[in-house]
């Protein structure tokens, strides 16, 4: 019996790593990518295969480059589930952001979603089934000062999610996004303890989210009712 397959981008650490664990536990065959931390991905592959007895394939790939993504899809099986998680952040005034920093952030956070969807969709349409799950942020909904470019990239992801869901609904393909609040990952290490404490005071649950909680939601969306599509589902401890 062939295992269902999932492609998870940006899987070497943080939310992507937790999502890989969740799908491995769920019995999926995994295709995992990262851009720089390949040694972490190699360790994760060993861990997942030993723990869950599944097949895990790893690739060093810049998801923000169309040629890299096209090459990746030439060597992997068409995924049943696509999880677009690869992302980077930028904190600072927009007026002081370099053009190269803007281009890199948009390529990684938004263009990558276009590149992967463009490759995955034909196979899903042919099978008349498939799931696309985009890992977004609450800043894509409301915007964040000093994170304007990041907010713009996630806002674009949210709009893409809604529009693509309408486009693919006749082919029985569901497209949803998860808008994360403050999740305890390396991306938040730039905050001081005082800044984190101030943020936690605004979160009704009084704590950061865990990557494993986002992973549980991603796995749920992989098995959710087919009628659930085009949604931006927020997980933020009641913050927004």
Burial class (CB in 10 A: 0-12, 13-18, 19+), 162: middle
State yes or no: is 150 an active-site residue.
Answer: yes
Catalytic residue among 90, 115, 150, 227: 150
Sheet holding 29-34, edge to edge: 56-60, 29-34, 5-8, 81-84, 130-137, 173-180, 232-235
Strand partners of residue 174 = 131
What is the chain's Cα-based Rg?
Answer: 17
Can you tell me the distance from the alpha carbon of 59 to that of 75, in angstroms, rounded to the nearest whole number?
10
What is the number of helices (H) and of strands (E) in the chain?
9, 7
Looking at the chain, how many residues does it have? 240
The angle, 0 to 180 degrees and rounded to 10, between the axes of the packed helices 14-25 and 38-52 is 20
Q: Tell the residue number behind the tokens 């068409």, with chain if given.
A: 78
List, in sequence order, every residue forming a beta bridge with 34; answer none if it has no partner: 60
Which residues are identified as catalytic?
A: 150
């Amino acid at each position: 019996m062939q295992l269902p397959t999932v492609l998870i981008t940006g899987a070497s650490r943080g939310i992507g790593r937790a999502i890989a664990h969740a799908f491995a536990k769920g019995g999926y065959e995994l295709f995992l990518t990262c851009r720089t931390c390949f040694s972490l991905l190699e360790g994760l592959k060993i861990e997942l295969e030993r723990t869950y007895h599944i097949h895990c394939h790893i690739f060093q790939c810049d998801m923000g480059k169309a040629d890299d993504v096209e090459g990746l899809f030439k060597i992997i099986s068409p995924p049943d589930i696509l999880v677009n998680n690869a992302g980077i952040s930028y904190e600072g005034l927009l007026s002081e952001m370099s053009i190269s920093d803007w281009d890199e952030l948009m390529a990684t956070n938004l263009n990558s979603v276009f590149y992967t969807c463009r490759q995955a969709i034909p196979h899903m349409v042919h099978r008349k089934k498939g799931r696309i799950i985009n890992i977004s942020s609450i800043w894509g909904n409301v915007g964040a000062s000093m994170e304007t470019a990041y907010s713009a990239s996630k806002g674009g992801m949210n709009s893409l999610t809604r529009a693509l869901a309408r486009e693919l609904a006749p082919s029985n393909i569901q497209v949803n996004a998860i808008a994360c609040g403050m999740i305890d990952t390396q991306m938040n290490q730039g905050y001081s303890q005082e800044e984190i404490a101030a943020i936690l005071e605004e979160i009704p649950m009084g704590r950061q989210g865990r990557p494993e909680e986002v992973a549980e939601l991603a796995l749920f969306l992989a098995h959710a009712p087919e009628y659930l599509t085009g949604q931006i589902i927020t997980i933020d401890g009641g913050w927004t």
